[in-house]
Amino acid sequence: MKYKVFVDGEAGTTGLEIRSRLSSRDDIELLQISPELHRDRDERQRLLNAADICFLCLPDDAARESASLVTNPNTRIIDASTAHRTNPDWTYGWPEMSKEQRKKIASSKRVAVPGCHATGFNAAVYPLIAGGIMPTDYPVVVTSVSGYSGGGKKLIAQYEDTRRGDPEMQSPRYYALTLHHKHLPEMMKINSLRYEPVFTPLVANFYRGMIVTLPINRRLLSKDMDAHAVWEYYSEYYKGERFIKVMPFGGEDCLNGGYLGAQGCNGTNRLEIFVFGHDDQILVMSRLDNLGKGASGAAVQCMNIMLGIDEGTGLAE
């Protein structure tokens, strides 16, 4: 049996990545829209309702519009935008959150894929909250560095064309300095946090890959655990998960001369958890491909779950 799949917004970075992951699969029939009709509302509506699964790889307002065009009760939607991530009528597309979440995704008609920064953040924070280790009023501070592909076509063009060679583009650059990043609402809601994290993202001069960093003070935890105990907890929490790997404590055999790069998961749907620290301080780091587990890979993983097939189909570990 072939499933009909339509990617609305296939020319964008995430849309192209999803099509790439699906194009060689013999169980998928990709519905194609003519380039001259990609803004034609009627044609898009026809394809959206002809699909078994449709991916929305669009700006938020356009994603809401496309979702509203789906009237076929059998069409299932996976939204890669920010538009529906905190909407209670949509299922949050992070299967590793819990066994129950995977079941919810499997039965859902509307799934919102997490943001890339939020994915790395959730992977570190959610288990600690769920286990009563980190209190919900913990003063969370988090930093994330990612490749420039996360900024979409305009930012990619700056790094690769219009501002290539500009000295300012050569060093990592902070952004979202108003402290109102668009991923914060889902980071708060999914983790039941009482206060917004202080979140400082950076973009750097490499195409893809990211690391999300969470520093923790032991004295502020609800349970008295040192860095090694936290590492043991993550190892047990994610035991058996296919795409989340808890790496050796302290990054043993994973560091290059004492350095940890952001591109180690590129081309995969893998997310790696690292734990560093000592008796008083703990550092948790999530490494992932912002276009893989942080976007298109996660979307395809959710599709596989929704279709009831092996969730790793077409995805690299």
**What amino acid positions are annotated as catalytic residues?**
116
Order of all β-strands in the sheet with 198-204: 173-174, 198-204, 141-147, 210-217, 281-288, 271-277, 244-246
DSSP string covering 211-272, please? EEEEEEEGGGSSS---HHHHHHHHHHHTTT-SSEEEPPGGGTTT-BTTB--S-TTTTSS-EE
Residue at token pair 């990617």: 7
Strands 110-112 and 76-79, by their bridges, are parallel
Give CA separation, 297 vs 47, 168, 210, in Å. Answer: 22, 31, 14
Task: Dig out the tokens for 244 from the structure.
Answer: 């989340």
Say how far apart CA 129 and CA 107 lie, in whole Å.
Answer: 26
Q: What is the DSSP-derived secondary structure letter of residue 71?
A: -
Q: Give the number of other Cβ atoms within 10 Å of residue 148's Cβ.
A: 21
Burial class (CB in 10 A: 0-12, 13-18, 19+), 34: exposed
For the chain, the residue count is: 317
> By the 8 A CB rule, do 254 and 274 touch?
yes
Handedness of CA 25, 26, 28, 34 (dihedral sign): positive
CA 110 from centre of chain: 17
> By the 8 A CB rule, do 7 and 56 touch?
no
